[in-house]
Amino acid sequence: MDRRGEQWLAANPHMKFYNQRRGCVRCTVDRENHRADYRVVPYVTRPGAPVSTPAGFVVENGKPGVHEV
């Protein structure tokens, strides 16, 4: 993690993940939980970049807080 990420996480206790890479968040919601998977690519300059999931978090029904999966 770079210095900027460390500063952001330290200043924002509600933030659980920082990554300098480009990507998106894929959310899955049902009656039992809300899951967010952070999907990233190593480059955006040409098609075909492989997608990876460096982190995922879930909020479970009836359990306060977010938990890394």
pTM higher than 0.75 for the full model? Answer: yes
Say if CB 46 and CB 25 are below 8 A apart.
Answer: no
48: Cα within 13 Å, side-chain hemisphere: 1
Asked whether residue 36 is assigned to any structural domain, the reply reads yes
Number of domains the chain contains: 1
Domain contains 33 = yes
- Domain extent for 47: 21-68
Does residue 26 form part of some domain? Answer: yes
Chain-centroid distance of CA 64 in Å reads 18
Flag whether 8 is in a domain: no
Alpha-carbon gap, residue 45 to 38, rounded angstroms = 20
As a whole number of angstroms, the distance between CA 35 and CA 56 comes to: 7
pLDDT of residue 14: 85
CA within 13 Å, CB half, 5:
8
**Which residue stretches of the chain have pLDDT < 50?**
none
